[in-house]
Amino acid sequence: MPSKTADSAEETSAGPLTLAELQAKNFDSFRGIGEKRAADLHALDVDNVLDLLMYYPRRWVDRTAECRVRDLAPNVSALVVVDVLSVDKRTTRNRKSMVTVRVGDATGKFTLTFFNQPWRSRQLYAGLTISVWGKPDTFRGVLQMTNPIVDLIGDRTGRIVPIYPQSGDNGVKTWEMAKWVESALSKCSPRGVVDPVPEDVRHKYGLAPRFEAMKSIHLPSSMDEMEGARRRLAFDECLRVQTYLVREKKRIELSARGIAHSTRGVFVDQFIENLAFPLTSAQHRVIAEVAADMSRTVPMNRLLQGDVGSGKTVVAVATLLTAVEGGYQGALMAPTEVLAEQHFAGVTRLLDGLVVSDPENLFGDRPVRVELLTNRVTGEQRRRVVAGLADGSIDIAIGTHALIQKGIEFKSLGAVVVDEQHRFGVEQRARLREMSEIRPDTLVMTATPIPRTAALTIFGDLDVSVLDEMPPGRTPIVTHSVAGRAETGAMWAAVRAAVGRGDQVYVVCPLIEESEKLEAASAEATFAELRDGELSGLRIGLMHGRMKSVEKDAVMESFRHADLDVLVATTVIEVGVDVPNATQMVILDADLFGIAQLHQLRGRVGRGEKASECWLVTRLSDDELIAEMKPRIEALVASTDGFELAEVDLQLRGEGTIMDKRQSGGSDDLKLASLRTDRDLIEAARDVAIDLVGDDVTLSAHPEIRDEVRLFIEDRGREDFVVRN
463 and 303 Cβ atoms separated by less than 8 Å:
yes
Query: Which pairing describes strands 396-399 and 370-373: parallel, antiparallel, or unpaired?
Result: parallel
Q: Check residue 429 and give its pLDDT.
A: 57
Phi, psi of 274 (to 5 degrees): -80, -15
Please state at what angle helix 312-325 crosses helix 281-294, rounded to 10 degrees.
30
* Cβ within 8 Å of residue 611, ≥6 positions away: 475, 478, 583
User: How does 483-498 read in b/e, with b if 16+ C-beta sit within 10 Å?
Assistant: beeeebeebbeebbeb
SS3 track for 469-532: CCCCCCCCEEEEEEECHHHHHHHHHHHHHHHHCCCEEEEECCECCCCCCCCCCEHHHHHHHHHH
Contact assessment for residue 105 and residue 80, using Cβ atoms and an 8 Å cutoff: yes
Please, where are the H alpha helices in 14-114? Answer: 19-24, 35-43, 49-53
C-alpha distances in Å from residue 93, one per residue of 90, 98, 100, 115, 691: 10, 11, 16, 13, 69
pLDDT, one tens digit per residue, over 489-510 is 999 999 999 999 999 999 999 8
Percentage of the chain modeled with pLDDT above 70: 86
pLDDT of residue 61: 79
C-beta of residue 129 within 8 angstroms of C-beta of residue 153: yes
* pLDDT in the model for residue 105: 93
CATH architecture assigned to 477-639: 3-Layer(aba) Sandwich (3.40)
pLDDT at position 66 over 90: no
* Residue partners of 439: CB distance under 8 A and separation at least 6: 256, 257, 258, 299, 433
Instruction: Look at residue 117 and tell me whether its pLDDT is greater than 50.
Output: yes
Q: What is the CATH number of domain 64-157?
A: 2.40.50.140
Half-sphere exposure of 508 (CA within 13 A, CB side): 29
2: pLDDT strictly greater than 60? no
Three-state secondary-structure class, residue 413: strand
- d(CA 118, CA 128) in angstroms, rounded, equals 18
Q: What pLDDT shows up at residue 224?
A: 93
pLDDT tens column, 142-167: 889 999 888 877 666 667 888 888 65
Mean pLDDT is lowest, of 519-523, 614-618, 708-712, 713-717, for: 519-523
Q: What is the pLDDT of residue 457?
A: 73
1 band by pLDDT with thresholds 50, 70 and 90: very low
Selection from 583, 601, 579 nearest residue 592 by Cα: 601
CA 94 to CA 567: how far, in whole Å? 46
> In percent, how much of the chain has pLDDT > 90?
45
Residue type, 224: D
Name 105's bridge partners.
108
In 3D space, the residue among 565, 642, 562, 567 whose CA is nearest the CA of residue 602 turns out to be: 642
pLDDT classification of 545: cutoffs 50, 70, 90: confident
Q: Say which residues have a Cβ less than 8 Å from residue 665's Cβ, sequence separation at least 6.
A: 716, 717, 718, 719, 720, 721
Q: Say if strands 413-418 and 329-333 run parallel, antiparallel, or are unpaired.
A: parallel
Instruction: Report the chain's C-alpha Rg in angstroms.
Output: 31
Sheet containing strand 137-139, strands side by side = 137-139, 142-146, 108-115, 97-105, 78-91, 129-134, 149-152
φ/ψ of 502, rounded to 5, equals 95, 5
pLDDT tens string 557-595: 899 899 999 999 988 776 556 788 999 999 999 988 888
What is the predicted pLDDT for the residue at 251?
85
H helical segments located in 568-641: 595-602, 629-638
Over 70: is that where the pLDDT of 4 sits?
A: no
Q: What are phi and psi of 104, to 5 degrees?
A: -175, 170
Least confident of 53-67, 341-355, 365-379: 53-67
pLDDT of residue 549: 76
| Neighbouring residues of 704: CB distance < 8 A, sequence distance ≥ 6 | 18, 194, 195, 196
Q: What CATH fold (topology level) applies to the domain 266-467?
A: Rossmann fold (3.40.50)
Residues 6+ apart with CB under 8 A from 209: 195, 202, 232
Enter the DSSP assignment of 582.
E
Specify whether the CB–CB gap between 301 and 461 falls below 8 A: yes
Can you tell me the distance from the alpha carbon of 186 to that of 636, in angstroms, rounded to the nearest whole number?
52
Fill in the DSSP letter of residue 712. Answer: I
Pairwise CA distance, residues 73 & 97, whole Å: 27
Element (H, E) at 181: helix 174-188
**In the structure, what pLDDT confidence band is assigned to residue 647 with cuts at 50, 70 and 90?**
confident
Cα 307 from Cα 316, distance rounded (Å): 14
Q: How far apart are CA 692 and CA 702, in angstroms?
A: 7
For 306-321, the pLDDT digits (tens) are: 887 888 999 999 999 9
> Exposure of 439 by Cβ count < 10 A (0-12 exposed, 13-18 middle, 19+ buried)?
buried
pLDDT at 435: 66
Q: Are 107 and 81 in contact (CB under 8 A)?
A: no
3-state secondary structure of 169: coil
* Least reliable range by pLDDT among 174-188, 523-537, 561-575: 561-575
pTM more than 0.75: no
HSE (CB half, 13 Å, CA atoms) of 114? 20
Residue 83 has pLDDT above 90, yes or no: yes
Residue 58, pLDDT score: 87
Lowest-pLDDT choice from 2-16, 84-98, 369-383, 464-478? 2-16
* pLDDT for residue 513 is more than 80: no
Q: What is the pLDDT of residues 382-430, one digit of tens each?
A: 999 999 999 999 999 999 888 888 888 999 999 999 987 555 555 565 6
Q: Is the separation of the CB atoms in 476 and 470 below 8 Å?
A: no
Q: What is the pLDDT of residue 720?
A: 47
Helix ranges (DSSP H) in 561-698: 595-602, 629-638, 642-653, 664-667, 679-693
Which of 253-267, 398-412, 663-677 comes out lowest in average pLDDT? 663-677
Helix axes 549-560, 337-350, angle to 10 degrees: 40
> What average pLDDT does this structure show over 520-535?
88
Tell me the domain boundaries of the chain: 1-59+162-194, 64-157, 206-255+695-725, 266-467, 477-639
**Which pLDDT does position 426 carry in this prediction?**
53
Please report the pLDDT score of residue 123 as a whole number: 87
* pLDDT value of residue 572: 74
Task: Establish whether domains 64-157 and 477-639 are of one fold.
Answer: no
116: left (phi over 0), alpha (psi -120 to 50) or beta: left
Mean pLDDT (whole number) for 620-646: 73
Q: What is the mean pLDDT of the chain?
A: 84
What is the rounded average pLDDT of the residues 677-706? Answer: 92
Is residue 15's pLDDT more than 80?
Answer: yes
Chain centre to alpha carbon of residue 396: 31
Q: Is the pLDDT at 122 greater than 60, yes or no?
A: yes
CA 208 – CA 32 distance, rounded (Å): 32
pLDDT of residue 721: 45
Whether 584 contacts 503, CB under 8 Å:
yes
pLDDT at 654 over 80: no
What is the predicted pLDDT for the residue at 229?
Answer: 97
Average of pLDDT values for 437-459? 80
Res. 172 pLDDT band, cuts 50 70 90? confident
List of residues 6+ apart from 481 with CB closer than 8 A: 616, 618, 633, 634, 637
- Closest among 52, 44, 41 to 19, alpha carbons compared: 52
CA distance 558 to 560: 6
Q: What is the pLDDT of residue 623?
A: 47
Is the pLDDT score of 175 beyond 50? yes
pLDDT tens-digit readout, 366-378: 889 999 999 888 8
